[in-house]
Structure 1
Amino acid sequence: MASNRPAQPTPFAPNETHTFGYNKDEGPWEEWNPTADSVAPVRGRHRTGKQRGGGGLARSSTVLGVGVIAAVGGGGIASAAPDKAPVSISMPDLSSVTESARALISDGGSSAPKGSTAPFTTAGLTSADEAQGTTDAGEALRDRIMQQAQAQQNQADTATQKAAQTAAAQKAVDLAVKQQNEAEAKADAAKEKAEEAAKAKAEQERLAELAKSYSLPTSSYTLTSTFGEAGALWSSGYHTGLDFAAPTGTLLKAIHSGTITEAGWAGAYGYRTILTLDDGTELWFCHQSSISVSVGQKVATGDVIGRVGATGNVTGAHLHLEVHAGGAATGIDPMAWLQSKGLNP
């Protein structure tokens, strides 16, 4: 047998201060010079127990894991430092460990054949899952999560659809209300317009009826000065009546039935006749060339009361007509008053 070359001196030899886990009594330390005989395997002296199947490591790991879980569940992890109080660790209830796991522990390490598709645990399986043929807890959990997600999505879709339907319904209601309001507004406008038309028609009929009892004071005339015109020709500074220019001698008629309350000379008004109506309104006929009635005389619409002239303060022949409502000293616009009686000078 050939011997190996002497080994080189080791750079480091353990001493009592570097035992690397050995007690002081284990030793002494010696250098080892391996040879072919010392490294050759010893036959027949040491045999390794035959392992059953290919899952021994898995079985031992499983047993170890279950044991650790059981130990932890039973009383928590022991404290490594004896001088410190142990910390209690809360762990979930392990009652859900299935019979297959317990059998794995009790049968001394037997396990399912390699490549088996049987589930490791059925913890968490419900009767509904088993009825559907589900045997794997993870698959069942995944299914329940998917079902819950689908249910939530369905709820969200339903809520969205309901919100859209509600918005559409509200929009339809708003549109209907708007259309109703517009229709009512149109109806009110049409009603108001119809009422105004009816009032106008009634007023026209009233004026037409009044026109039968009222008459213009003369004919073949020209309106020269209206009420309110300013000028030095009038002592008041403005025109107080309505002038009907016509040739001298043109007949003057009673505008409405009433009583003659004045007939004679009136200074700047020349010859004047005052006709007082039943409601107290006074009609002044001024600048006449002649008077055909006397005080206290009753006259009817259209009766002749005098003739056009140019007496008093005038620049030509015309009728100066004034209207004094209720016998007031200040007159009102004769044009407006005549129009209120259905007359259009």
Structure 2
Amino acid sequence: MASNRPAQNPSYVPSGAEVLDVDRRSEEGTWEEWNPTADSVRPVRGRHRVTKQRGGGLARSSTVLGVGVIAAVGAGGMATAQTGKPPVSISLPDLSSVTDSARALVGDDSGDDSDTAVQTASAPLTGAGLTGADTAAGSTDAGEALRARIMRQAEAQQDQADSAAARAAETAAAKQAASAAKEAEAKAEKKAAEAKEKAEAEAKKKAAAEKLAKLAKQFTLPTSSYTITSTFGEAGSMWSSGYHTGLDFAAPTGTLIKAIHSGTITEAGWAGSYGYRTILTLDDGTELWFCHQSSISVSVGQKVSTGEVIGRVGATGNVTGPHLHLEVHPGGAATGIDPMAWLRSKGLTP
């Protein structure tokens, strides 16, 4: 047991109300020691619980300890205030008995404080930040609930990014497919156009061939058993114009000369350097000159048909040997054109 130190004589004399108070206490008699116990304290009805803080039952023990300290200090003060009295010893209760007494005062018989402290420590510190959805989902920890919301938000953003990437890929694929389809369509159109052009060219060629074949029935070469010795435009001193103005068919004298096409004989007789010459005028005005003949079989104004004999090959006029000199004058012009090209345009190949 602890006891108070012996009271010291005061070095001053109290006055006024303090003297009256000391006298009054002297009259009341000697102070006795009182230790509160469960039997001496009247039980308090009801159950009073003290909010427990971390660190176990520190708050409850501190409260009881504070009550004991206040009682001890008060008793010591009262003992000191007595004059001429022997010091009174005051003992403090054991901590375990104080704890039991405080537990009896508040009516707490719930059991071991350590279990309650563990439960308190393991419980969530606060419910702040919890939403109704978190509570409905069974979340009791605000940190875990926040983490769950962040994860859900991240997953939602990832899903949106994946969806956007998928849409972009689909759009790119659609554009690529459209471009490929357009390119294929352009190639197909180009190929079709080329095929059409080729078909049209072939059709034109076929039509031209048919026309030439038909013309070939209407036109014929002027002689047979011949050799081409001089062509149109050859230069030389043998020709008065300085160049050859027709096409020469070399053949033996007396070889038959035929009308290339139907027409009218507009000239038949001697023509100087051309020798004996016959001019056949066609329906379109083209004049055909047959020169260097040995003989003439037609007369002016006579109508002849294709292949009809009009004379014979000879060597009259300015010649070096027997041959037929043929000239073509479109529209009766003084200057002629290449007889070889004109014959080929009629389907004939000299």
Structure 1 length-normalised TM: 0.66
Against the structure 1 CA distance between its residues 53 and 190, is the aligned structure 2 distance closer, same or farther, given a 3 Å change threshold? closer
Match in the other structure for 1:119: 124
Indicate the residue corresponding to 1:313 in structure 2.
Answer: 318
* Counterpart mapping for 1:182-201 below 5 A: 182-201=187-206
- Contact kept? 2:124, 2:140, Cα under 8 Å: yes
Provide the C-alpha distance between the structure 2 equivalents of 1:124 and 1:273, rounded to a whole number of angstroms.
Answer: 125
Match of 1:213 among 218, 225, 230: 218
Aligned to 1:286: 291
What's the CA shift for 1:131?
A: 0.9
Q: Deviations over 1:145-172 (max 9, x none)?
A: 1111111111111111111111112222
Match of 2:68 in 1: none
Q: In the alignment, residue 163 of structure 2 is paired with which amino acid?
A: T
- Provide the secondary structure at the position in 2 that maps to 1:289: strand
Residue equivalent to 2:270: 265
Secondary structure at 1:116 match in 2? helix
Counterpart pick for 2:144 among 130, 139, 146:
139
SS at match of 2:289: strand
Report the AA paired with residue 167 of structure 1.
A
2:162 to 130, 146, 157: 157
The CA distance in 1 between the partners of 2:240 and 2:208, in whole Å, is 38
Which of 315, 321, 344 is the matching residue for 1:339?
344
Query: Does structure 1 retain, via aligned residues, the 8 Å contact 2:265–2:281?
Result: yes
Does 2:250 match 1:245? yes
Aligned positions, number = 242
Q: Contact (CA 8 Å) 2:54, 2:121: kept in 1 or not?
A: no
The one-character-per-residue Cα deviations of 1:175-203 (angstroms, maximum 9, x if unpaired) are 22222222222222222212221211111
Question: What is the rounded CA distance, in whole Å, between the counterparts of 1:123 and 1:228 in structure 2?
Answer: 115
SS at match of 2:122: coil
Let me know the Cα RMSD of the aligned residues: 2.1
Which of 1 and 2 has greater Rg?
2
Give the gaps of 5 or more residues in structure 2.
1-51, 60-115
SS at match of 2:248: strand
Query: Secondary structure of the residue that 1:231 maps to in structure 2?
Result: coil
Q: Compute the displacement of 1:54 (Å).
A: 4.5
Q: Structure 1: where are the runs of 5+ without partners?
A: 1-51, 60-111
Task: Indicate the residue corresponding to 1:55 in structure 2.
Answer: 55
Change in 2 beyond 3 A, CA 1:118/1:236: farther
Shift of 1:236: 1.9
How many angstroms apart in 2 are the aligned matches of 1:324 and 1:53? 134
% of aligned pairs identical? 75
Counterpart residue type for residue 309 of structure 1:
G
Q: Report how far residue 334 of structure 1 moved.
A: 0.9
| TM-score normalised by structure 2 residue count | 0.65
State the distance in 2 between where 1:264 and 1:322 align.
16
Aligned residue identity for 2:206: K
**CA distance, structure 2, for counterparts of residue 53 and residue 161 of structure 1:** 56
Query: How do 1:54-73 residues align onto structure 2 when only pairs under 5 Å count?
Result: 54-55=54-55
The structure with the greater share of residues assigned to helix is 2
